[in-house]
């Protein structure tokens, strides 16, 4: 199964918003992360964990708390590879790209929901 078959819509926002605004967008949308962009380029990701760890910085720019050097995966990769990357990098969210452009996001929850499609070796390696 390919990543594009189970990915969700990624929510993006400008890299120069405040942490407070990012938290509100995430809360209102019931989502765990925002992909931060600058001129359609991914520059970071902010997660609920980033915000909780920096709760005293709500009025700071989100660039102060976001994770930089975002790891991505191509939409045509298999979900086994997505699971391997997420496990090795200890991340729960993986932005999905097509020809260098963001097209979605895959989460640990998506993988669990589709675990019957994961290669058996993933669980025993």
Per domain, the residue ranges of the chain are 3-124
pLDDT-based confidence at residue 120 (cuts at 50, 70, 90): low
Q: What pLDDT score does 123 carry?
A: 46
Superfamily holding 3-124: CBS-domain (3.10.580.10)
Nearest alpha carbon to residue 33 among 17, 10, 16, 4: 10
CA distance 16 to 38: 9
Q: What is the CA radius of gyration of the chain?
A: 15
| pLDDT more than 90, % of the chain | 86
């Amino acid at each position: 199964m390919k990543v594009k078959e189970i990915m969700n819509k990624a929510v993006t926002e400008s890299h120069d918003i405040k942490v407070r605004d990012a938290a509100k967008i995430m809360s209102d949308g019931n989502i765990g992360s925002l992909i931060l962009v600058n001129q359609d380029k991914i520059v970071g990701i902010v997660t609920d964990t980033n915000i909780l760890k920096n709760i005293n910085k709500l009025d700071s720019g989100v660039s102060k708390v976001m994770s930089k050097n975002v790891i991505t995966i191509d939409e045509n990769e298999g979900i086994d590879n997505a699971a391997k990357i997420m496990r090795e990098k200890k991340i729960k969210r993986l932005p999905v790209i097509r020809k260098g452009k963001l097209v979605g996001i895959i989460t640990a929850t998506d993988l669990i929901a589709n675990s019957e499609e994961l290669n058996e070796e993933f669980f025993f390696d």
